[in-house]
Amino acid sequence: MAKEILIYAEVTRDNYIHTVFFELANKARELAEKLENAEVNALLISKRGLAADYREAFVNSGITKIYTAEGENFETYNTDYFAKAAVDVIQEIKPEILLIGATNQGRDLAPRISTALHTGLTADCTGLDINEKGQLAATRPTFGGQLMATILCKNLPQMATVRPKVFKPAEQNFVKPAEIIYKEINLENTPKNVELLEFQRKLTSEINELDSAEIIIAGGRGMKNEAGFNLLKEFADKIGAAVGASRVAVEMGLASHEMQVGQTGKTVTPKLYIACGISGAIQHTIGMDKSEKIIAINSDANAPIFEIADYGIVGDAFEILPKLIATGLSK
Ligand SMILES: Cc1cc2nc3c(=O)[nH]c(=O)nc-3n(C[C@H](O)[C@H](O)[C@H](O)COP(=O)(O)OP(=O)(O)OC[C@H]3O[C@@H](n4cnc5c(N)ncnc54)[C@H](O)[C@@H]3O)c2cc1C
């Protein structure tokens, strides 16, 4: 029997498949090759009919099978019901590896599953590989980002969560149709300990902006004050960029937490990331070092950010940014 890598296909509130699923599916295919061509399959827990509706999207992700538990009980996310459904399916199919997006939902669900199955979970991974013994080697920062630890799990399934944008989705489409396998879940003895009473969407423009921006211009302590961040915003507006920030800039009150990039902020992969007055601490770079091109502006020629930058400008950002704004650069 082929080994299986199972990926949790999170359904968003708008009934879309979360993009992190496609990123994980792409990475999983690479892992599957090292696992003697294991199958990459999806676990979908949703309202009725979603697996059939999205069959084509799954085809494009190269998935072989979609295990789906569907019905009224799964119309909105519920910790107890979703965990029960996931555990039932996993106990039946016994995958080698289970990958889940480190989204709010994934972070709630993954520990429940690992506890119920008495298996290990490596959370918020930044790298996944298969080692020479065929085990999942899950890498994540540890000791406050001072070290990168590669963690192995002794039991099955080997579980890991990965934040959105750490991996890229596949660029090509696959033509192999996925098989939908329906699973009946008996929830009779499952208490519903948490009830969703109301959902309020957080209306913060920076959230979506950073996620989808092709250009991000980010500021750190070196941008010093509100005037410094206003310069960033002015430049960003001109070139159609979103504004990001280091944690220090957030702590200084110059930016909101939604704008923070890094280990305890967002992972971003824009086409261009411009770091202004940011030193390049690992906890920051871990969230942006997969950007296609990086430009650093820093007054200290020895700042670590220059080690990962494609282009560097050594100088005072308060002098350089007005000059860049004054050039004819635009969207
Ligand atoms: C558990 C943990 C999690 C963390 N998570 C995150 C995270 O998610 N994101 C994050 O960013 N950090 C995070 N940090 C903090 C991180 O370790 C660094 O402290 C932080 O990234 C430094 O921010 P900075 O680069 O803005 O400030 P600094 O390190 O102080 O760097 C400021 C830079 O600005 C330059 N500069 C000064 N004046 C100018 C000027 N006029 N023009 C141009 N350059 C100038 C300086 O040369 C310097 O390089 C975390 C830390 C811990 C322990």
| pLDDT, position 202 | 66
Q: Per-residue pLDDT averaged across 272-299, rounded? A: 96
The partner residues of 137 in beta bridges, in order of sequence, read 129
Element (H, E) at 137: strand 136-142
Strand order in the sheet with 293-298: 242-245, 215-219, 272-276, 293-298, 311-314
Residue with CA nearest ligand 1 atom 23: 248
Going by pLDDT thresholds of 50, 70 and 90, the confidence category of residue 301 is very high
Residue with CA nearest ligand 1 atom 14: 283
Q: Per-residue pLDDT averaged across 304-321, rounded? A: 97
Is the residue at 233 inside a domain? yes
| pLDDT, position 54 | 86
Structure tokens that stand for 14 in this block: 């708008």
What are the backbone angles phi and psi of residue 88, rounded to the nearest 5°?
-60, -50
- Please give the biggest Cα pair distance in the chain: 67
Q: For residue 164, say if its preceding peptide bond is cis, omega within 30 degrees of 0.
A: no
* % of the chain beyond a pLDDT of 70: 97
Q: Per-residue pLDDT averaged across 310-322, rounded? A: 97
Task: Tell me the CA–centroid distance for residue 331 and ligand 1, in Å.
Answer: 28
Task: Tell me the CA–centroid distance for residue 205 and ligand 1, in Å.
Answer: 24
Amino acid at 148: M
Q: Are residues 158 and 273 in the same domain?
A: no
228 lines ligand 1 (CB under 6 A): no
- Number of the ligand 1 atom closest to the C-alpha atom of 221: 26
Mean pLDDT value across the chain: 92
**DSSP H stretches of helix in the chain:** 19-34, 50-53, 55-60, 79-93, 104-117, 205-212, 226-239, 247-251, 282-285, 305-308, 317-326
Task: Tell me the CA–centroid distance for residue 60 and ligand 1, in Å.
Answer: 40
Q: Are residues 122 and 260 in the same domain?
A: no
137-152 pLDDT, tens digit each: 999 988 877 788 999 9
| pLDDT, position 245 | 97
Q: Are residues 55 and 174 in the same domain?
A: yes
Domains: count for the chain: 2
89-141 pLDDT, tens digit each: 999 999 999 999 999 999 999 999 999 999 999 999 999 999 999 999 999 98
Structure tokens that stand for 204 in this block: 């913060």
Q: Are residues 163 and 214 in the same domain?
A: no
| pLDDT, position 203 | 59
Q: How far apart are CA 21 and CA 181, in angstroms?
A: 18
266 lines ligand 1 (CB under 6 A): no
Amino acid at 199: F
Is the residue at 107 inside a domain? yes
Q: Are residues 300 and 164 in the same domain?
A: no
- Number of the ligand 1 atom closest to the C-alpha atom of 297: 43
Task: Determine contact, residues 61/26, Cβ cutoff 8 Å.
Answer: yes
Task: Determine contact, residues 38/62, Cβ cutoff 8 Å.
Answer: no
* Strand 121-125 with 127-130, pairing: unpaired
Q: Which domain holds residue 64?
A: 4-182
Q: Per-residue pLDDT averaged across 231-249, rounded? A: 95
283 lines ligand 1 (CB under 6 A): yes
Q: How far apart are CA 145 and CA 16, in angstroms?
A: 33
Which CATH number fits the domain that encloses residue 294? 3.40.50.1220
Residue 330 has pLDDT above 80, yes or no: no
Question: Which residue, 133, 149, 182, sits at the end of a domain?
Answer: 182
Q: Per-residue pLDDT averaged across 209-218, rounded? A: 90
The partner residues of 142 in beta bridges, in order of sequence, read 147
